[in-house]
Structure 1
């Protein structure tokens, strides 16, 4: 099995289109198709269902994708490890992050990393913590800054960054703001909620807190970015239970303690693959974060 065939297979799977994948790989479409056919012959199975509009993975193709991504990531890590021994850090750093992560100033950290390691190409992807964890475990990402949503495994380990309690955000004219008291899950169960997509780390943590309390809630307003959440709360369209540092982004909103959940309910972490699969660039980024306190926190957490 040639690595070139696996690389072509992963590109087609990502783009779901032979022409787009060929353009990205800078190869001819006929050459790419021949590469995929050779791989299918070797494995004696069909990897894609082809239509005039796009291609989709077969069951066998889905089974191969995760393994192919891990193999290619390990090969890339091997090349980069050899370069690092020779005194040059080069290659690609594929980083994922959720929005507004406490415990790391991502932009400042990447700027410092680029100054120290100009030969490393940095690629950044923003997504929910669930998808980021899957990306690191599968080898699509070298590391990710996310909320803890699952325990460590043989393929995924974590480095703690910060922990913080939840807070309830509401409009200053809301009845909760007038009372000014700490609230628990049972106190807010009948409210209209604004929250993130279920793949986001804060949403998963908040859902778990309400489930543990035996309180049902309905998220009527679901968003995929922090500012949209704050805008909806600012218009008094609902309340939000979020990590405490979010309140610093919209001081005009009323922030109230959310009791009965714990001081470190929202735990942010750096997600990494197994030690032997961690790339030199990922190690260098974590070492920089640990050595430079100025990158260790983006938001005040009083």
Structure 2
């Protein structure tokens, strides 16, 4: 089972072509075809279906891809960790972030991290729990910065508290209930959730439950924090937003914070990762900078311990 063949399988999944994948791993197409056939013989199972339109994976192939991706990512991490322990800071850090962190802690943390490690590539994507779980499990992501209830996470993940976020209820500035002070007044409103029910973007459910109210009426789910403020600004939907997203989005002038006096949940953003997957020194250092700015706010940064 050759590492180069495993890499090629991942490229075939992404590109749908053995020829294109062969170019990515610097092999000729016949050589890659022979390597895949050898792997199929080792596994005693067909992995690919080859057609004139390209290549697709069999049921066996799709199952094996999960293992192949994990092996490739683990190999990458192992090489990078050894190099970083030798003082050669390169490689990559891949993570997802919640919008509250992306708009507050992440910019200064990245600036400090890049100053110390300019050769480390940082790959950041939007994402909340539980949507990021598959990418954490298969090694695509090193960690995620996301609100999560620790008691609800799966046993193969570990969550370490990072910061507590403030939530506001938002509507468009001329909404008839824009001056409501009790959640009960909003019982008949339609709400935009920023994640599926029970996810962190459905925090209004928790707020209603605390106030002894029936579950809110979900009008739609929008997992894009870029689009969500625009939708609320141009509709009669209500939504919960992290204060940083509410204050800094492009539609702020068209939005209104509803002055609810009932206590709203304050989600804790955690560093979420696989418990059996050690972080590379670079990933640990980036998390240290993020923690530093969570504790120190916008004060001038010094190197974290």
TM-score category, normalised to shorter length: 0.7 to 0.9
Match of 1:300 in 2: none
- CA deviation after TM superposition for structure 1 residue 235, in Å: 2.3
Is the 8 Å Cα contact of residues 108 and 293 (structure 2) preserved in structure 1? no
- TM-superposition CA deviations, 1:58-110 (whole Å, max 9, x none): 32223222222222222222222222332222222222234443785323322
**Over residues 178-203 of structure 1, what are the superposed CA-to-partner deviations in whole Å (9 max), with x where a residue is unaligned?**
x431315xx43432333335399543
Q: Tell me the residue number matched to 1:254.
A: 256
Whether contact under 8 Å (1:182, 1:256) holds in the other structure is no
Query: Could you say if the C-alpha distance between residues 154 and 70 of structure 1 is closer, same or farther in structure 2, counting changes exceeding 3 Å?
Result: farther
Offset at 1:44?
0.9
TM normalised by structure 1 equals: 0.80
Q: What is the Cα deviation at residue 139 of structure 1?
A: 0.8
Q: 1:198 to 1:215 in 2, by over 3 A?
A: closer
Q: How does 1:13-32 map to 2 (within 5 A)?
A: 13-32=13-32
Q: Is the 8 A contact 1:16 1:55 kept in 2?
A: yes
The residue that corresponds to 2:186 in the other structure is: 188
Residue by residue over 1:272-298, the C-alpha shift from the partner in whole angstroms, topping out at 9 and shown as x without a partner, is 23265322221121122233458868x
- Aligned partner of 1:47 in structure 2 is 47
Runs of 4+ in 1 over 6 A off after TM superposition: none
Structure 1 contact 170–238 (Cα < 8 Å) conserved: yes
How has the CA–CA distance of structure 1 residues 204 and 232 changed in structure 2, closer, same or farther, with 3 Å as cutoff? Answer: closer
Aligned positions of 1:261-276 closer than 5 A: 262-264=264-266, 266-274=267-275, 276=277
Could you tell me whether the CA contact under 8 Å between 1:169 and 1:233 is conserved in 2? Answer: yes
Counterparts of 2:61 and 2:278 in 1: how far apart (Å)? 23
Mapped partners of 2:206, 2:32: distance in 1: 46
Check conservation: 2:219, 2:237, Cα contact below 8 A. no
> In the aligned structure 2, how far is the partner of 1:171 from the partner of 1:105?
28
CA distance in 1, matches of 2:56, 2:261: 47
- Alignment partner, residue 301 of structure 2: none
Aligned-pair distance for 1:116? 0.8
RMSD (Å), alpha carbons:
3.3
Determine the structure 1 residue equivalent to 2:240. Answer: 241
Matched with 2:302 is none
SS at match of 1:88: coil
Query: Where does the alignment leave 5 or more consecutive residues of structure 1 unmatched?
Result: 298-302
Give 1:14 shift.
3.2
Kept in 1: contact 2:73–2:139 (CA 8 A):
yes
* Distance in 2 of aligned mates of 1:87 and 1:278: 16
CA deviation map 1:21-49 (0-9, x unaligned): 33444443333333322221211112233
CA distance change for structure 1 residues 98 and 116 in 2, over 3 Å: closer, same or farther?
same
Q: What is the number of equivalent residue pairs in this alignment?
A: 292
Moved more, 41-50 or 154-163: 154-163
